[in-house]
Chains A and B, each alone.
Chain A
């Protein structure tokens, strides 16, 4: 398993501003994932962050809105840019652990964002 921490745990922001969320893992991992969980909803994958390369974004998510950094194998940041109330969500990072069919994801505690 992995121990994952996120900062901040929650924030209230004004529309038009940006927030950077940090994700720290207690072991070196090649891949990290960023998810969004809107109120009462399941998880939607935003992007996959690989160390040493550009993040890969899912349909509906773009780098200008959600820039990601991955400076080393234990750390990543997700920025939510030019925020609007529709960006109010829980943002989660996760890392895959295990091999093959037994690979599973371990999640951070999430960052709860409210945009006014």
Chain B
């Protein structure tokens, strides 16, 4: 059974601080996605990474896929209250093969 372990589960920080969220597995994934979900909304796709070692940047967010495609990280620089939400990593995605596996999520709260 493929599992994605996400850490930390909860993070409360001050505005302006940096943070990193980790997503780890013993399995190899063909791709990994990061989603952000706000209360009352569905998850919104932030990024998809498919190549081992790939780094993608989205404004203050930096996403990295591990060389072995077993892990990923999300780094936020100078967090803002608008970054508050639930961050989910998800691995896989081949509907012809295995299903998408979701991590447990990291609930981030950024205080002004």
The answer to whether A and B come from one shared complex is yes
A: residues with CB less than 8 A from B are: 1, 4, 31, 40-43, 45, 48, 92, 94, 96, 98, 100-110, 112
Known: A96-B95, A105-B93. 10 other contacts (CB 8 A): A42-B105, A45-B99, A45-B100, A96-B93, A102-B48, A104-B31, A105-B45, A105-B90, A107-B44, A108-B42
The chain B residue sitting closest to A58, CB to CB, is B99
The chain A residue sitting closest to B101, CB to CB, is A45
Q: B72-100, CB under 8 A of A: which get 1 and which 0?
A: 00000000000000001010011100011
Which 9 residue pairs across A and B have the least CB separation, nearest first?
Answer: A107-B42, A101-B30, A101-B50, A103-B93, A101-B31, A43-B102, A110-B42, A42-B104, A42-B105
Q: Are B95 and A107 in contact (CB under 8 A)?
A: no
B: residues with CB less than 8 A from A are: 30-31, 33, 35, 40-45, 48, 50, 88, 90, 93-95, 99-100, 102-105, 107
Docked complex Cα distance between A103 and B41 (Å):
21
Our pick among A42, A102, A108 for the contact of B102 (Cβ within 8 Å) is: A42
Q: Are A105 and B100 in contact (CB under 8 A)?
A: yes
Q: Are B95 and A92 in contact (CB under 8 A)?
A: no
Q: Are B88 and A43 in contact (CB under 8 A)?
A: yes
Known: A96-B93, A101-B50. A106 touches B45 (CB 8 A): yes
Q: Are B50 and A41 in contact (CB under 8 A)?
A: no
Which of A102, A109, A112 is packed against the most chain B CB atoms within 10 Å? A102
Our pick among A45, A94, A112 for the contact of B40 (Cβ within 8 Å) is: A112
Docked complex Cα distance between A98 and B42 (Å):
19
A12 to chain B, nearest CB (A): 15
